[in-house]
Amino acid sequence: MFMRSIVNIFAVSFGYAAAVIGAGFASGQEIVSFFVKYGRYSLFGILIACLIFFAFSYAVLCSCKEYNIHSYDELLTKFYGEGNIKKAIKIGIFIFSVCSMCVMTACMGEICVLTTGVGRIVGSLLFSVLCLFVLVMDGRNVLKINSILGGFIIFGIIFSCLYILRFREHQTFSNNVSIAVSGITYAGYNLLTSGAVLAGMSEMIKNKRDAFLTSLVSVIILFVMMFFIWCVLSTYYGKINLGEIPMLTMTYRQNNVLGIIYCIMLFLAVLTTGISNGFGAVDIGGKYWGRKAATLFSVFVSFCMSGAGFTRLIDTLYRACGYIGMAVVFSFIYIFIKNMKKVKKERKTKNNKINSMKY
């Protein structure tokens, strides 16, 4: 039983980490946009983001166990009811899902340029067609391998970073600016859709202790990856052209074998992130316009907006979604604390009544 509990904790941790990682994370562009460019003290921004990742994960898993809920939609209903607040949150999730598809489509275009030399529009178009095919065919089985791919991506990122740091050519740079807000908004947009992953896997968690351990393991994994990517990119930022996909640039700079391995890993991250967010957008939009219309809308918008460029989309769309996510996450954690106090008070009252009846 103990070993099974440990396996489940790591399975949920990998699933959660995979949901946060995405291609923007694996490419290194998110770390540059939200942390590296603010200087060496931006490491504190990473710590702030990780604290929020932990608090949100623990809140979702504990709430699911407390109320015996295994669906994020049900959990949102429990916290916010069926009124306008829940509808606003669902709209926010839909917006982020479409924005994430835009970023992934742009990323695939950049990967094609770096690896094959074909135009960005070709790579973006091929990816859009692939997404359209999977979404229309409702191939949700693709998402079931997220935890396995998450483990592969985690190992690949850490290994690649350590390899690059072992043979680094420069020392890290310094400077600082507004770090806390960047860390909070980074966590904000990443957590808009992560709740669904946590709620869906909460059945694997036995109790609040396991929820705590799962959240802790997840955050340690995320912090280690973010820290190593930050170290690599801080070392070279401002000294060489990191390109649109910094980590791919750095791995190819070491040798072609490492570059190809990282490229495959990045392609898988783009594919799973794009398709999972595509399903999220279609599930929400489909209730209002129908699944086919929502699918066509999501894919078409993603392809058109991908022309703005990978870096620009992360700097604008993700940052804007970060403020939406920040409001959702903080309100969710506040309600969680309020509910837990209420549950604790009710249990204390119940125990007092039982004890008084005994005497």
Structure tokens at 305: 């907006």
Residue 3 or residue 12, greater confidence: 12
Average pLDDT over residues 264-272: 82
Query: If pLDDT is split at 50, 70 and 90, which confidence band does 44 have?
Result: confident
CATH number at residue 149: 1.20.1740.10
Nearest C-alpha neighbor of 310 from the set 75, 103, 90, 73: 103
Whether residue 357 is contained in a domain is answered as: no
Residue 95, domain member (yes or no): yes
Query: What's the structural domain count of the chain?
Result: 1
Length of the chain: 359
Distance CA 136, CA 106 (A): 21
pLDDT of residue 265: 84
Q: Which domain holds residue 90?
A: 2-348
Q: What are the tens digits of pLDDT across the range 96-122?
A: 888 888 988 988 888 888 787 777 888
Task: Tell whether 353 is covered by a domain.
Answer: no
Residue whose token pair is 């709209």: 91
For every residue of 223-259, DSSP letters joined together read HHHHHHHHHHHHHHBTTB---SSHHHHHHHHH-HHHH
Residue 216 confidence class, pLDDT cut points 50, 70, 90: very high
pTM: 0.83
Give tens-digit pLDDT for 152-201: 778 888 888 888 877 655 444 344 446 677 778 888 888 887 887 788 78
Check: CB of residue 214 under 8 Å from CB of residue 13.
yes
- Note whether residue 356 is domain-resident: no
Q: Is residue 355 part of a domain?
A: no
